[in-house]
Chains A and B, each alone.
Chain A
Amino acid sequence: MADHSLTNHAQTESLALRVQFDTAAQQKDASQLGMWIFLITEIMFFGGMFAAYTVYRNWYPEVFAIASSSLNAVLGAINTGVLLLSSFTMVMAVRAGQLGQQKMIIIFLILTLLFGGVFLGVKAIEWKEKFDEHHIPGQAAFHLEGLKDYDQGHAQLFFSLYFAMTGLHALHMVIGVGIILTLIMQAKKGIYSADYYTPVDVAGLYWHFVDVIWIFLFPLLYLIDRHLGK
């Protein structure tokens, strides 16, 4: 029978074992479960916007197709690839954690940061284009070519969803970048090892999740009936 006395735990509290836990395995399980439940809340958070998207695309399919075709699909596809690459480097960082390779953790985290940064940069260029083309909902100058006046409002709905969804996705990316920066600083202090790399692990879950959201946003926003545009 293990000794449960409190002084014992108080003395041994460390990053790898907080006082409320009995074992490191219990702590790691709790952290992972906590992150998964957080991701469920994120599914529901984006879910509200997916619901709005489903409703309006169902109501205005033609307008959504034309509005979607005004987005740059090639740029979007390349950006999707960049984000998938960042997920790959992230999982490699976690693998380095499993193996206790401190240097490799840092290298792969920096790569992840780099790809994440490229994604956000491309996103910023795309947004800038939208501003230049007056595709900003709520502005008096809003005008989408190839649509009757009557449909301009519906096109604004598309772009409202576009900006809300990609904007909140980008916000999650920025938060992810912040987390990875913190991880890199911690990793440089050498606190991660094969026995304790939970922060890298759960940050990875978050990063992949943000990736999954984009995996859905890309076809739903960029790729609606592209053949009509030809």
Chain B
Amino acid sequence: MSDHRQEEHHEQHIDTVGTYVGVLVALLFLTGLTTAVAYVDLGAFSTVVALAIAVTKMLLVALFFMHVRHSTRLTKLVVVGGLMWLMILLLLTMTDFVTRGRIGVPGK
């Protein structure tokens, strides 16, 4: 048989209920944490902390609930690629918005 059509049967990974409960508890804790920390004045860092917690939660959901840690390399590539494209959209758009007025628009 072909090595392409016949993908090898991935080892079925069945996580324990304990793992999932652990992840859920961590997610709920982080939700509380991000809410509480919003009331503390961290200056510019408040956004950083909020996003760091959100990214952590995303990783927990993706790796455990969405089984990315047991997935094929291709799936991981798809996930990373998607996030990279989001970054392209955000960064190149912001290239314009954060530099407006710093060098000035031609003709002004």
Contact = CB atoms under 8 A, between A and B. Distances in A.
The reply to whether A and B meet directly (CB within 8 Å) is: yes
Secondary structure dominating the interface of B: helix
A161 interface: no
A51 B82 contact: no
Given A37-B78, A88-B20, A215-B54, A44 B89 contact: yes
A208 B82 contact: no
A59 B101 CA distance: 12
Interface in B80-95: 81-83, 85-86, 89-90, 93-94
A22 B7 CA distance: 10
A25 B6 contact: yes
B90 A54 contact: yes
B97 A59 contact: yes
Nearest to A42: B82
A145 B92 CA distance: 35
A36 interface: yes
Contact of B75 (A36, A85, A204): A36
B94 A54 contact: yes
A227 B41 contact: yes
Contacts of B98: 58
Contact of A216 (B5, B28, B40, B58): B58
Given A76-B35, A84-B27, A220-B50, 19 more contacts: A26-B6, A32-B75, A36-B78, A37-B78, A44-B82, A47-B89, A51-B90, A58-B98, A81-B28, A88-B23, A92-B20, A98-B14, A208-B61, A219-B54, A223-B34, A223-B35, A225-B38, A227-B41, A230-B39
